[in-house]
A and B are shown apart, each in its own frame.
Chain A
Amino acid sequence: MDVFNAIIQTLDSTIRLSVPLLLACLAGLYSERAGIFDIGLEGKMLVGAFAGAAAASVFHSAFLGLGMAILISVAFAMIHGFASITHRGNQIVSGVAINFIAAGSTIILGQAWFQQGGRTPALQPGERFEAITLPGAEAIRGVPIIGPIYAELLSGHSILVYLAFLMVPFTWWVLFRTRFGLRLRAVGENPAAVDTAGISVAWLRYRALICTGILTGIAGAYLSMVQNGGFVKDMTAGKGYIALAALIFAKWKPVNAMFACLLFGFLDAASIRLQGSPLPIIGRVPAQFMQALPYILTVILLAGFIGKAIPPRAGGVPYVKER
């Protein structure tokens, strides 16, 4: 039963760890499907995390924190849009700039406002999103197998976790079942077709970036208000980039994205769990290697184990009418 509990616990932390990846990955999916490469997911998540924790701590409200996280993250997405849609700038440069601005400004503002070395004050109960216990979880905890799966694995997460996973079918539905989704996919493939069909390419791409901003805002709020009890500098720690890798790995499809993020989350969880404990045959593996494993696997997977990933054809190219 020990092994079973270990598995349940690892899977439970897999879910927790994959949530920010999943939200960021879906965020990237909206913008990249619309033809805007967004290397600035990392930065938008970071400002979201900072704004969320700061607002929650000042206004003593988790939901105000979440709202502020989304607001600031969307504002940064609009900066990216202004540079790369309106002024047809290079999307990679704009995204990198956003990451730098985010990394620098969160520390400076954090220090100026809270004087805790760039941290925000530790969040008190009520300022964080608490775990939700699903109905009946306690009642069936004792039932073998099903009990722990329901009570440990499915129940007891914050509302943002459930929201993140609900975003998967919702995103799929938006992309493939609505007019907005059809146009969004079209503008990422051939903006000229959208333009000649009488639809504004710029407005469509801005709307896609708003979706991106909302989701990176939630991802940031999750980091600082659920996973951690406050903002710590550079707390995104490359998750935005991993999310981009997952997006390619998922071939820009929402359900695939969920599995890709769960896989990366699982590797992360496994590496934490296996740190210091000897493995059969191999023996003790250095902790650094375990920590590097998700990244190594990313490289290997992207190097050819996933088949050909065809990005949206107009991705990265600013739309200019002929001439």
Chain B
Amino acid sequence: MAQAAIELIGINKSFGAVRANRDINLEIGRGTIHGIVGENGAGKSTLMSILYGFYQADSGEIRVGGQPASIKTPNDAIALGIGMVHQHFMLVDNFTVLDNVILGAESDALLKKSIAKARSELERLEREYGLEVDPDAIIEELPVGLQQRVEILKALYRGAEILILDEPTGVLTPAEADHLFRILGQLKDQGKTVVLITHKLREIMAITDTVSVMRQGTMVATRETRKTTVEELAELMVGRRVLLRVEKGEAEAGAVKLAVKNLTVKDTRGVTMVDDISFDIRAGEIVGIAGVAGNGQSELLEAISGIRRAVSGSVMLDGKPIDLTGAADPGELRDRGLAHVPEDRHHVGLVLAFEENENSILGYHDDPRYLKGPFLNIDAIRNDARDKIAKYDIRPADCRLKTANFSGGNQQKIVLAREMEQDPGVLIVGQPTRGVDVGAIEFIHKRLIAMRDQGKAVLVVSVELDEIRSLSDRILVMFAGRIVGERGPEATEGELGLLMAGIEHQEAAL
């Protein structure tokens, strides 16, 4: 290995009773791209925050370029040439790109000189690394991909030699992610060191030179990327063998449960997001809707579940229409056997400030099982929540804990447990595994297939093509609000990718 850019020796860090990092040793070679993988809560972000001076380690030593370094504040880290791109961008949304870049690194007490200097420096960086962005643009008007570029520029402007990226692709479209990887490659070619934190193994395989795996606060292994496999990394992360593709039998499709006919939906700006879509879902099958985010999938889900008004068309649930005026009573739809796991669980699926047991009956609180006269039957609710926690392996197993304190994957399990355990005839799931760990993905997929095998009709919308291909009995591809193709589960990634990009659609139109 080349000379080490960073060495971490015996790092320990606890938050109260939680040991986020235990005795971590790590060496990152200069001029390499080093991946750190691990499930949510494995301690990756904590470790990098210690390196960036955001937290202080309880014990341990950090060496930068071979020299022992004392990093007490982000300022110390910046001075040592360490830059960080945080998962949630650290940008001031209503400032310009230039203002954000110079914030904290102003060269003068007056802004005029600082901005002039930053402007010419940004031009140089843009040329050197292909990081084009309008320096006078307001951050909130830029797409997320460009906002992230500003974060990278911020770090480079401060003279970063070592760049840490925390889950950089979580918010990016596949094309934006590819562009990011090209930029990272260029940075590496220029001799910079890149540390990439992620839980997406595919990215690790695509771009890193070496990879370290963390599990429950410990560093379990470091591998050369070309000598390892996705399967090995997944096993190291979870601590057991993981099925990346769930096994399932043939679907035995029965009667039509949900019939969508000529559905058209417009968004608040009046733009047609769902354009004359028709499809059926039968009992005992999983229908997957693939597509790049923003092609109308969200609006389709919302219209079917009665949240968003449809302009025209009909949706029949067990042969009876669903109210599409946007005034549908979600409670009534639940009674009719339609369960909905929304895409955005934070805003739509959960009340994060509630205890877990309260969220586990949210929307079903009128059910006589949870009532004692006019009051909630707290014991029944908590027992019910404990059952779900056991069955869905929700961690920590504490139904009195505030929901915000669960990891993303466990929050998703709370919503899934709630909706699936009501034994619905039709289950609609948006992004079933967004932000969820490898181990939990396997579990969620198995549950969805079990639902199918019980004869439920399942609709899955996901931007993860692997997930769609692994789960679906039939795949519908959405592009620009239309269904541009239907394929079986044997469809190749390339074939679906072309459909998702609208290639075939455009040719057909010509």
Chain A residues in the interface with B (C-beta under 8 A): 176-183, 185-186, 189-190, 192-199, 313, 321, 323
Contact = CB atoms under 8 A, between A and B. Distances in A.
Interface string B57-80: 000000000000000011101100
B109 A182 contact: no
Given A197-B74, A198-B78, A189 B92 contact: yes
A197 B84 CA distance: 10
B108 A179 contact: yes
A137 B106 CA distance: 45
Contacts of A313: 93-94
Interface in B72-126: 73-75, 77-78, 84, 86, 88, 90-95, 99-100, 102-106, 108-112, 114
A197 B90 contact: yes
Contacts of B104: 183, 194, 197-199
A189 B138 CA distance: 14
B93 A192 contact: no
A186 B74 contact: no
Contact of B95 (A177, A180, A186, A199): A186
B291 to A, nearest CB: 32
B375 interface: no
B71 to A, nearest CB: 11
B74 A179 contact: no
B75 A198 contact: yes
A185 B86 CA distance: 21
Which interface residue of B84, B92, B100, B109 has the most chain A CB atoms within 10 A? B92
B103 A197 contact: yes
A323 B405 CA distance: 10
Contact of B92 (A179, A186, A199, A323): A186
Contacts of B95: 185-186, 189
A321 B92 contact: no
A179 B111 contact: yes
Contact of B106 (A182, A196, A321): A182
Contacts of A194: 103-104
Contacts of A186: 92, 95, 99, 103
A189 B93 CA distance: 8
Contacts of B73: 198
A119 B16 CA distance: 54
A273 B110 CA distance: 45
Contact of A193 (B55, B90, B108, B109): B90
7 contacts: A182-B99, A189-B92, A196-B52, A196-B74, A196-B86, A198-B73, A198-B78
A177 B111 contact: yes
Given A196-B86, A198-B73, A321-B54, A182 B91 contact: no
A190 B90 contact: yes
Contacts of B84: 196
A309 to B, nearest CB: 14
B109 A323 contact: no
Secondary structure call for the B interface: loop
B90 A192 contact: yes
Contacts of B74: 195-198
Contacts of B103: 182-183, 186, 193-194, 197, 199
Which interface residue of B74, B75, B94, B104 has the most chain A CB atoms within 10 A? B104
A315 to B, nearest CB: 13
The 4 A-B pairs at the shortest CB distance, nearest first, are namely: A197-B104, A198-B75, A193-B90, A198-B74
Contacts of B90: 190, 192-193, 195-197
A289 B55 CA distance: 58
B78 A182 contact: no
Contacts of B92: 185-186, 189-190, 193
A193 B73 CA distance: 14
Given A194-B104, A195-B74, A198-B73, A182 B111 contact: yes
A179 B109 contact: yes
Interface of B: 15, 52, 54-55, 73-75, 77-78, 84, 86, 88, 90-95, 99-100, 102-106, 108-112, 114, 154
A180 B105 CA distance: 12
Contacts of A197: 74, 90, 103-105, 154
Contact of A190 (B77, B93, B106, B111): B93
B112 A177 contact: yes
Nearest to B53: A198
Given A190-B91, A198-B77, 7 more contacts: A181-B111, A186-B103, A193-B90, A196-B86, A197-B90, A197-B103, A321-B55
Given A196-B84, A198-B78, A179 B93 contact: no
Contacts of B102: 182
Contacts of B111: 176-179, 181-182
Contact of B110 (A178, A183, A323): A178
Contacts of A176: 111
B150 to A, nearest CB: 11
B70 to A, nearest CB: 15
B110 A179 contact: yes
B354 to A, nearest CB: 20
Contacts of A199: 75, 103-104
Nearest to A186: B92
Which interface residue of A179, A185, A199 has the most chain B CB atoms within 10 A? A179
Contacts of B15: 323
A179 B100 contact: no
A209 B111 CA distance: 22
B451 to A, nearest CB: 36
Given A193-B103, A198-B74, A179 B94 contact: no
Which interface residue of B78, B84, B106 has the most chain A CB atoms within 10 A? B106
B93 A196 contact: no
Contacts of A193: 90-92, 100, 103
Nearest to A323: B15
Which interface residue of A186, A195, A198, A323 has the most chain B CB atoms within 10 A? A198
Contacts of B78: 198
Contacts of B106: 179, 182
Contacts of A323: 15
A197 B77 CA distance: 10
A196 B77 CA distance: 10
Contacts of A180: 109
A321 B49 CA distance: 11
Contacts of A181: 111
Which interface residue of B78, B94, B103 has the most chain A CB atoms within 10 A? B103
A310 to B, nearest CB: 8
Contacts of A182: 99, 102-103, 106, 111
Nearest to B111: A177
Contact of A196 (B54, B55, B94, B109): B54
B413 to A, nearest CB: 22
B459 to A, nearest CB: 35
Contacts of A177: 110-112
A189 B54 contact: no
A178 B108 CA distance: 9
A238 to B, nearest CB: 31
Nearest to B113: A179
B144 to A, nearest CB: 16
